[in-house]
Amino acid sequence: MSQVYLAAKLPAITTEILKKQQLDFSVYSGTGLISKQELLANVKDAEYLVTALSTKVDKEVIDHAPKLKLITNFGAGFNNIDINYAKEKGIVVTNTPLVSTNSVAEVTVGLILALSHRIVEGDAQMRKEGFPGWAPLYFLGHEIAGKTLGIVGLGNIGQEVARKAAALSMKVQYWQPHQKSDPEERSLGVNYVSFAELAQTSDFISLHAPQTSANYHQFDQAVFNQMKSTAAIINVARGPIIDEVALRDALQNKQIAGAALDVYEHEPAVTAGLADMKNVILTPHIGNATVEARAAMGKIVATNIALVQAGQTAKYVVNQ
């Protein structure tokens, strides 16, 4: 069996690095996402496992791989891996942070613009019913200049979203459990507010926090009740931060005006009813789906394998 098992097809740079390091590897060759049975069958003798965010690595998988030294996750998140159990077994777990920052921030701003100017809705209109002709009150949207963006989670991606939003003349406020320093806030042009104030005063709320037990269903019916009826929510972080049934109800009851989701509570499934709404944009987890970002991620996972194989410390360890 191979030293390295890649549980998904990855950018070419990944295998190029592994070949250069003369590491024996095999790659999942099936279509769609790898099944648990296939994963179990291929990790038995693996020393290194490369996984995608969609691949769950639980205790059963870890116990099935007694030689495993490193699980390197192809993604900034790592909630698909039981990192604490891996640590108990002496297995290092890494992710690929930072390189996704710009791509995810660009997608976030794109979704805000698309919601505001009804771009996706307009495209559907043209393809189905056509264009009846220009009229003064036809298909009106809103400009984002002067609107307030509330960011939940001012990490690397949240900060880049703040910069891009400021360049588009938006007012930016944020909330997270710990306030940034005054110099950091001033450099970004952002204001720290309470969670309640952010919910009540933002025209757009954009989620950029990691998934934790504390923020499961952080956006529930009670929070949607506090939001402006003209507000929209954007989630490019983790699906379970939003109670999607509550979101659907809030949209149907016009408690809020719109939503754009790139991640889902029960991913890859979408909560029933959301896809039927014109004021909802749904994208298939494309936040970092660029040639540039994915190549950088592929380089990180392969380089980490090479480092550990050489007896060195891997970068971006998440279970130290």
pLDDT tens profile 45-88: 999 999 998 899 999 999 999 999 999 999 988 989 999 999 99
Structure tokens at 181: 């320093």
Strand partners, 258: 232
Catalytic annotation on 248? no
d(CA 253, CA 229): 10
Q: What is the DSSP string of 197-216?
A: HHHHH-SEEEE-PPP-STTT
**Among this protein's residues, is 178 annotated catalytic?**
no
* pLDDT digit string (tens) for the chain, length 320 residues: 469 999 999 999 999 999 999 999 999 999 889 999 999 999 999 999 999 988 999 999 999 999 999 999 999 889 899 999 999 999 999 999 999 999 999 999 999 999 999 999 999 999 999 999 999 999 999 999 999 999 999 999 999 999 999 999 999 999 999 999 999 999 999 999 999 999 999 999 999 999 899 999 999 999 999 999 999 999 999 999 999 999 999 999 999 999 999 999 999 999 999 999 999 999 999 999 999 999 999 999 999 999 999 999 999 999 98
Tell me which of 38, 106, 197, 267 is the catalytic residue.
Answer: 267
Tell me what pLDDT residue 179 has. Answer: 98
Tell me how far apart the alpha carbons of residues 75 and 294 are, in angstroms, rounded to a whole number: 9
Task: Using the structure block, give the residue that is written with the tokens 């970002």.
Answer: 293
CB 147 within 8 A of CB 206: no
pTM score: 0.91
Cα–Cα distance for residue pair 157/262, rounded to 1 Å: 15
Rounded CA gap, 52 and 288, in Å?
13
CA 272 from centre of chain? 21
Contact (CB, 8 A) for 19 and 49: no
pLDDT, residue 2, reads: 66
CA distance 293 to 140: 35
* 267 given a catalytic annotation: yes
Q: Considering 238, 244, 248, 265, which one is annotated as catalytic?
A: 238
Read off φ and ψ for residue 96, nearest 5 degrees: -125, 75
Residue 91 contacts residue 71 (beta carbons within 8 Å) = yes
User: What was the pLDDT predicted at 123?
Assistant: 97
Contacts 24+ apart (CB under 8 A), 275-281: 277/248, 277/251, 277/252, 278/121, 278/124, 279/115, 279/121, 279/232, 279/251, 280/251, 281/111, 281/114, 281/115, 281/120
Alpha-carbon distance of 195 to 174, in angstroms, equals 8
The pLDDT assigned to 320 comes to 86
Q: Which amino acid would we find at residue 169?
A: S
